């Protein structure tokens, strides 16, 4: 019990540390000298910028100094935790057009790449970003889902088998960091991720006139008179400074019509057929075009406006974030009768992150000057909100950048897992009926263990591990979020079920039914018994002491997670799960020998690793102490005097007194089968004998 107490105290200390304070998240590690070494002449490394942690790269071009790009570390801009709970740190370089110059791995703690697959596949994966553009939709292809149609708007990179979730986290780290830099330095607006927003339906066209379009909100109008604009400045220093507004209050200040002309139901109705074709030729996939038609004394372009530039008299914001618009320098004719002195088409590039499904807020700044030498500028804004109807839009399918896309891609696997968990739940809830026939129960259990090994383990890669625990501890300790867990839907789904089952039945549901390596061990042990390999039964006292080892291992691993990620990476190798299940024994020979050795040991000592060494099992045993049910039925004679179940329990989880040690119970239900059997349960056999009576027939009397 001392080891168990030590483990509990260690976990409580960790929780207390999280409550009282935490160490700050890791920051970038590159220095000016290191940057100069990595980017030698003719390149020149500028000073690290203060407003954003990026290093500008320059080169001399004749007499001019030319900007080559920006270099930054992903951990400074997108510290997304990997599966160890520690963010990967990647050096990313992009040029002024948003094209990747290169991506390199500076540090990582991804279990699958540490002495697993090795780091070579990781380095090969990040090399694929070179020459790709942020203007492209970059997707990861794995396995049989390879549909390559690369073009200016789409790019595809090969994933890494057995590391699908890890490379998706890497991809999100690279793109999230690069998009932050591009929005700040390259003119991309600070909008949403352009691949996670709605799209305009190009296949929908509705013939509409101007009256119907205005009624539906497809065209918005803003009419402001001189009187209205004077009211806007009333009560402030700008009041009364416009003589024309005071002299002609009812005249039009601006009469503006605005629409998203890249929507077919708008553009094809507003523009001539030739104008629509011309507009389409100037837009790339994901771009939006906004038409502004106005008349009156105030123009959105102004006398000093330069065609092709960004306007300063009309601004676009979405969710309070500015989004750049640029004049397309197009002269297009209108197909509908609409009086307008000025018609201007503005383009919003796809990378700006404009979401057509969300309201667009337009502002027209109107400025008045007061004074002569140093005039005071007083600015007020006219506002207009524009929203497209949902019938003209469609939600984009999530891709590998975001965890919802991963869940969607694995929906059939999740459905299969859900069905399997439902079957298990029903079976365990109806244990009396399940165990009524011992032979039938044995077939059910073996079939389910095969499902666990084959589907949950090797196919769906749903092996829960102590790495899940240390990852959460390390992320919380560094005050990082837990979103990284969502990149592995099978793990999240299993954890959700296991946390519930811990409260109901305890540790045994996962360890006895859902652990792929545990199931592999049990099948190995059953095969050894069928082959009549001698089974070693450890003495009760020795067995009890050996079971403390896993708690000591758990305490050591959890403690290491607070001060040394490198040590944690080594200690978690006590588990053979990565070797046997995740990597299917494709690993360097010491790890394979260790995993195979544990399987062979289970052929002699039943589930040797699970009972004595598994730190993850120890963590579940501690959590399982909060279970609600003592679900194994017992007779008052169990243990005193009957010892049948104790001697037949391969896990040695039943004490001589007949009490069940639920911390060590794997829910194999062999004792429940015995309990329900009239042929195996000594208590039931004796009870039957006590109630068995032999009828005595009176002797037949012969008549005289």
pLDDT tens-place string over residues 306-328: 788 778 889 998 877 778 788 89
Burial (CB count <10 Å: 0-12, 13-18, 19+), residue 666: buried
Q: How far apart, in whole angstroms, are the C-alpha atoms of residue 378 and residue 268?
A: 40
Question: Which pLDDT belongs to residue 338?
Answer: 81
pLDDT given for residue 246 in this prediction: 93
Instruction: Quote the mean pLDDT of the chain.
Output: 84
Q: DSSP secondary-structure letter at 626? A: G
In three-state secondary structure terms, 142 is coil
The answer on pLDDT for 20 being more than 50 is no
Q: Over the Cα atoms of the chain, what is R_g?
A: 35
Most confident of 12-16, 23-27, 475-479, 493-497: 493-497
Per-residue pLDDT at 23 = 35
pLDDT tens column, 655-670: 888 888 888 898 888 8
Q: Is the pLDDT of residue 636 over 70?
A: yes
Which of 175 and 384 is assigned the larger pLDDT?
Answer: 384
- Looking at residue 680, its pLDDT comes to 84
Contact between 60 and 82 (Cβ < 8 Å)? no
When pLDDT is cut at 50, 70 and 90, the band that residue 14 belongs to is very low
Q: How far apart, in whole angstroms, are the C-alpha atoms of residue 528 and residue 520?
A: 12
Would you say the C-alpha torsion 146, 150, 154, 156 has a positive or negative sign? Answer: positive
Rounded distance between C-alpha atoms, residue 655 and residue 610, angstroms: 19
> Would you state the structure tokens that stand for residue 529, as one six-digit string?
């018994």
Lowest mean pLDDT among 172-176, 320-324, 464-468, 519-523: 320-324
How do strand 321-323 and strand 89-94 relate by DSSP bridges? unpaired
> For the segment 402-450, what is each residue's pLDDT rounded down to a tens digit?
677 678 778 899 999 999 999 999 999 888 888 888 889 999 999 999 9
Domain ranges of the chain: 198-395, 631-688
Nearest to 23 by CA among 483, 569, 480, 482: 480
Instruction: Say if residue 333's pLDDT is above 60.
Output: yes
Give the whole-angstrom CA distance, residue 649 versus residue 666: 10
**Percentage of the chain exceeding pLDDT 90:** 37
Torsion angle (degrees, nearest 10) of CA 368, 371, 375, 381: -20
Strand stretches in 171-299, DSSP E: 198-200, 219-225, 252-260, 288-295
Q: In this structure, are residues 380 and 238 in contact, taking their beta carbons and an 8 Å threshold?
A: yes
Alpha-carbon torsion angle 343, 345, 346, 347, nearest 10: 180
């Amino acid at each position: 019990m001392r080891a168990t107490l030590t483990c509990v105290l260690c976990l409580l200390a960790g929780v207390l540390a999280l409550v009282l304070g935490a160490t700050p998240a890791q920051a970038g590690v590159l220095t000016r000298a290191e940057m100069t070494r990595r980017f030698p002449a003719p390149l020149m490394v500028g000073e690290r910028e203060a407003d954003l942690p990026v290093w500008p790269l320059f080169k001399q071009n004749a007499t001019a100094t030319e900007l080559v790009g920006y270099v930054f570390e992903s951990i400074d801009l997108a510290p997304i935790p990997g599966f160890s709970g520690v963010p990967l740190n990647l050096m990313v370089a992009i040029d002024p057009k948003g094209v990747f110059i290169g991506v390199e791995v500076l540090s990582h703690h991804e279990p699958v790449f540490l002495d697993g697959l090795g780091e070579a596949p990781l380095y090969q994966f990040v090399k694929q970003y070179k020459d790709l553009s942020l203007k492209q939709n970059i997707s990861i292809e794995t396995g049989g889902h390879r549909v390559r149609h690369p073009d200016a708007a789409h790019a595809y990179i090969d994933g890494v088998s057995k590391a699908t979730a890890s490379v998706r986290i890497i991809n999100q780290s690279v793109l999230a960091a690069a998009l932050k830099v591009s929005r700040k330095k390259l003119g991309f607006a600070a909008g949403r991720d352009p691949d996670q927003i709605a799209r305009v339906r190009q296949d929908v066209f509705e013939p509409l006139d101007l009256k119907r379009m205005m009624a539906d909100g497809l065209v918005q109008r803003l009419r402001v008179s001189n009187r209205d604009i004077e009211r806007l400045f009333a009560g402030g220093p700008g009041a009364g400074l416009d003589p024309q507004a005071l002299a002609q209050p009812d005249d039009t200040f601006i009469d503006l019509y605005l629409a998203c002309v890249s929507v077919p139901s708008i553009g094809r109705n507003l523009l001539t057929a030739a104008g629509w074709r011309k507009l389409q030729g100037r837009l790339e996939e994901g771009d939006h075009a906004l038409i502004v038609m106005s008349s009156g004394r105030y123009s959105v372009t102004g006398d000093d406006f330069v065609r092709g530039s960004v306007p300063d008299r009309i601004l676009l914001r979405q969710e309070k974030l500015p989004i750049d618009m640029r004049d397309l320098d197009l002269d297009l004719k209108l197909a509908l009768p609409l009086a307008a002195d000025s018609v201007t088409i503005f383009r919003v590039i796809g990378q700006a992150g404009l979401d057509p499904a969300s309201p667009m807020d337009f502002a027209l700044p109107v400025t008045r000057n007061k004074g002569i030498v140093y005039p005071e500028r007083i600015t007020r804004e006219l506002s207009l909100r524009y929203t497209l109807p949902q019938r003209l839009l469609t939600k984009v399918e999530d891709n590998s950048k975001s965890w919802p896309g991963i869940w969607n891609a694995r929906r059939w696997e999740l459905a299969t897992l859900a069905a399997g968990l439902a079957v298990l739940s029903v079976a365990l809830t109806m244990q009396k009926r399940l165990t009524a026939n011992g032979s039938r129960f044995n077939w059910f259990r073996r079939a389910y263990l095969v499902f666990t090994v084959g589907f949950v383990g090797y196919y769906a890669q749903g092996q829960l591990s102590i790495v899940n625990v240390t990852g959460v501890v390390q992320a919380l300790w560094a005050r990082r979020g837990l979103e990284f867990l969502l990149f592995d839907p099978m793990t999240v789904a299993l954890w959700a079920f296991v946390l519930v089952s811990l409260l109901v039945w305890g540790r045994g549901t996962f360890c006895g039914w859902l652990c792929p390596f545990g199931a592999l061990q049990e099948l190995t042990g059953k095969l050894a018994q069928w082959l009549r390999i001698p089974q070693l039964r450890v003495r009760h006292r020795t067995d009890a002491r050996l079971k403390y080892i896993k708690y000591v291992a758990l305490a050591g691993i959890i403690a290491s997670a607070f001060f040394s990620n490198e040590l944690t990476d080594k200690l978690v190798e006590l588990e053979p799960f990565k070797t046997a299940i995740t990597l299917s024994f494709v690993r360097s020979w010491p790890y394979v020998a260790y995993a195979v050795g544990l399987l062979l040991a289970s052929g002699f000592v039943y589930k040797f690793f699970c009972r004595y060494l598994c730190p993850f099992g120890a963590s579940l045993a501690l959590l399982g102490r909060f279970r609600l049910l003592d679900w194994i039925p017992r007779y008052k004679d169990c243990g005193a005097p009957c010892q049948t179940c104790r001697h037949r329990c391969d896990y040695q989880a039943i004490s001589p007194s007949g009490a069940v040690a639920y911390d060590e119970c794997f829910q194999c239900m062999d004792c429940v089968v015995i309990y329900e059997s009239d042929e195996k349960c000594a208590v039931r056999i004796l009870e039957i004998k006590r109630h068995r009576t032999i009828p005595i027939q009176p002797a037949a009397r012969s008549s005289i």
